[in-house]
Chain A
Amino acid sequence: MQTVVEQIYRDMERRISGSPPGVCPVDEALNCLNLCRAQTCGKCAPCRVGLSQLADMLTQVLDGEPDEAILDRLERTARVIVATADCAIGIDAAQLVLTGLRGFREDFEEHVRHHRCLSTLHNPVPCVAMCPAGVDIPGYVALVREGRYADAVRLIRKDNPFPTACAYICEHPCEARCRRKMVDDAINIRGLKRAAVDNSGLVPHPKPAPATGKTVAVVGGGPGGLTAAYYLALMGHKVTVYEKRKQLGGMMRYGIPAYRFPREIMDGEIKGILSLGIDVKTGVDVGGEVTFDELREQYDALYIAIGAHTDKKVGMAGEGAKNVISAVDLLRGIGDGLLPDFTGKTVVVIGGGNVAMDVTRSALRLGAKKVTCVYRRRQQDMTAQAEEAEGAIAEGAELMTLHAPKRIEVDGDGKATALWVQPQIPGPIGSDGRPKPTDAEGEEVRLPADLILVAVGQGIESRGFTQAGVTIQRGGTLLADEDTRLPDLQGVFAGGDCVTGPATVIRAIAAGKAAAANIDEYLGFRHEITVDVKIPIPHCTDIHPCGRVNPREREAGERKGDFTCIEFGMTAQEARQESSRCLRCDHFGYGNFKGGRVEKW
């Protein structure tokens, strides 16, 4: 019997993680509370009786016509249970209700006052809803299933001109709420996109709309800037991209190492985008030799997508030593083909994000004898994707978690020789759900180092824009509204990392897409972006649990010696099976009723 119950628990865990976005939080709170009620032992009054009363009150809020005082009664009851229940079963359950009352009070009030819910399913297809660019994922997965790879690429390009980049390096937020999790596991969506781009051959781009005579300058040639440039060019506007560095690609080139995204493949994709007739000026610093105001005069509209390319400092003694290098500088050099030789060196990396993993793994490839990544929290608290950390470990990197960097030891020549770190103990959980580390009892540890690499975050170079009247917020980001408009400057738009702070390629692409639509409208047009790909009709098939095909990688010992791509694409067999796991939420469930497919934007 217990094994069956354990099975049900595992199923529920998967189910909760596959919960569709947009569900009523009050309803969710009630149903979580009901699960808690089953766990009460029945001894102490607040837990045994109180949890039932909380559930009754929540039901009243959802179904009845209670007076507004019910919310106070709920809060008081929950507070008392937290304060007086005898064990965690009651305390934690009531805490859940309190957290809800504080976190989504307006939802409670709407139910009490208007018997309605603020929540609605804006997009019922979980993967599409979770994709910042709203790519038609069930559509291209179905096309991959039929072997129509080129059509899959064309369909993706309707919403995202970088199918290849995203096939290699997207963080795939689309998979987070995949409904297939309720059955077995999320679809490997990124892997299927990779299957599409690997097998599609060269897919020609659509012809741009007739020329409008309008000109747009895009400042920044990263994924966001090039996305805006691409769609604006498709709409018939004349676009010029200004890029400060030698080459286009932004963080895809100057942040992401080639072993994750091969350069020749990136160059091919960018070349295709530029083939729409986009002008490019590389090596031009807007705010330096060209001023922002000059661009405003020359062009009908402006899109600022300068990214976040400056490094942040740890702020400790010895950081100025010459063999202490920022991750941003190292990766930028590698991006332009400058590969330093670390042969025989002992390297210490500070940081726990994806960039820290990128420099850790790059340092190994540059010949380092030993690379130790120092992080003050636990491994599961790293912001780096789990597979990045695991990959680094497999390639021989040391992960030294729960150690906080304290100071850098510098010799008489001003050269760093070691990093001193203090052991940490995970403390109370913070608002981000991660325990805050504090100094543990015990001695500082000395890590000898020939080279120290610092990867603790990036900032935005906004100097040239501040004086031109662009509002810079605390934290250094540019102030733009949700539609990418700058509030005080007519015809100027901004988006991507420089507005949100360092984020992901797909979010930059989404911002570029939104900016293109808004700039088009600002210029007096309402061009529509659409594609004539017919999506296969879904098969009415039974659903049987089936394993997810995960990406396979080159052997760690072999791959750590070069910058060649580490990940293999799926085989045709794998792609067929994986794509057939898709539940086609664009058709089944809410999808064929409303919002299953956005055919144009």
Chain B
Amino acid sequence: MTRDMAFFEFLCRMGDNTLVLGHRVSEWCGHAPVLEEDIALANTALDLIGQTQMWLGLAGEVEGEGRSADDLAMLRDAWDFRNVLLAEQPNGDFGQTMMRQYLFDQAHVLLLQKLAGSSDERVAGIAAKAVKEVAYHVERSRDTVIGLGDGTSESHRRMQAALDLLWPYAGEMFTDDEVSGIMAGEGIAPEPSSLRAAWDAAVQETMSEATLVIPDSDFAHAGGKTGFRHSEHLGHMLTQMQWLQRAYPGARW
């Protein structure tokens, strides 16, 4: 694998995570438990879609085949998506949505902090902007997980169920492979495994404050960020997200 191929893969991983998760969060619009949450969810989705424009824009540039961020978002099929499986998991109830968000945000913020010092100035620039937004995301998702974990017996039960359900999808965020090896060698991005200890510590602290128990298993599903085997959920998301571009090819919107 050449450096540019690995770089393109890496950028798709970044952009597809924010695209797919942003899309999922946007599905809540108008249906949140309380008005402030409607506003906060829309805001989170908006930040993630904005970051997608930057990551996939750069991916198209690095690829050099004239594809725009929109082309990458709207005209690739599921096997070309490089998001982790966690991001494409369905919203479930509000607790499941916020647990997914927290597990992701906590890894996202640690990664972006490192990327802000990337040897590639464009990556460093995007990360420096995104990290400010994501610092807020993690503060909010952390507070919500704690609040609902520690809240009533029902909210506690639901949050524990969400953690149990999503835990096997967290590990994929920290696996290394050829792409990450090349990125680390070039000083563009850290090896994902190097972020695990800090993530574990932060998550442990949060769950303990939330009175939730982390499952005693390090089993991790894989196949999202390599594109080898996504879940069935992604295809359904794409049929909706890509519908207009697919139904009216070449139209400008």
- Same complex for A and B? Answer no
B contacts, CB < 8 Å to A: none
Interface residues of A (CB under 8 A from B): none
